Amino acid sequence: MWFDSFFKNLFGSKNKKSTGRFVVVDTETTGLDLKKDKILSIGAVVVDQNHININERFECFIKQEYFNLASVRIHGIMKQGDQKKIAEKEALERFLDFVKDDVIVGHHICFDVRIINKSLTDYGYKKLKNKVLDTGYLYRKLKPFLGYPNQVKQLSLDDLCEDLQISRKGRHTASGDALITALAFIKIKKKLMKENIQKLNRYLYRC
């Protein structure tokens, strides 16, 4: 899978000493309606310090009866596609085991957390209580220092890729977007530190 080879080529196989674990998460879904749409895929990678831990990554594709053909043009996940799919309940259990109680990072992350929570409650599980960091929100904090005017529109992940010079390889896959977001998160963290905005704790919240 491209995800494995890309990781090895980009980061090598050496482990980094951990002083704090962030789990960067992305989902692909049948749409954006929290009431009716379903999760098709969950991807996650782990950031320790300012490094992506290549030995900790998560990816699963989920069997769903409900399907929206319009969204296939974005994520490419077919109902009867080539990806090995597992039951939603199993996917959620694996994800909970992976994410533990660590801080979750994502781009517009509250959508991902809320649709995961919707699925969790459907199976009788408690909602995620993890604190989150949103790369879109964090990047806005850099705008005054980077010389950008205040923007009304939401910054897309593509906007961050362009501004931070990050490859879009794997875009619109859960694992690919998680990796892209992790790279953006690391760059944003470094820029925040350069501008003496070092404490991420002030930007933590729950969805």
Q: Mean of the pLDDT values across residues 46-56?
A: 90
Give the residue numbers annotated as catalytic, written as ranges: 172
* CATH domain 2-11+20-203 topology: Nucleotidyltransferase; domain 5 (3.30.420)
Q: Mean of the pLDDT values across residues 102-130?
A: 97
Radius of gyration (C-alpha) of the chain in whole angstroms: 17
Q: Where is pLDDT greater, at 75 or 21?
A: 21
What is the model's pTM? 0.82
Region at 15 (left for phi over 0; alpha for psi -120 to 50; beta for the rest): beta
Are β-strands 85-86 and 51-62 bridged in parallel, bridged antiparallel, or unpaired? parallel
Planar angle of CA 14, 197, 156, nearest 5 degrees? 75
Q: How many residues does the chain have?
A: 207
Name 114's bridge partners.
none
pLDDT band at 10 (very low <50, low <70, confident <90, very high): very low
Domain ranges of the chain: 2-11+20-203
Structure tokens at 96: 């909970």
CA–CA separation, 131 and 5 (whole Å): 31
Question: pLDDT at position 45, please?
Answer: 96
CA–CA separation, 95 and 49 (whole Å): 22
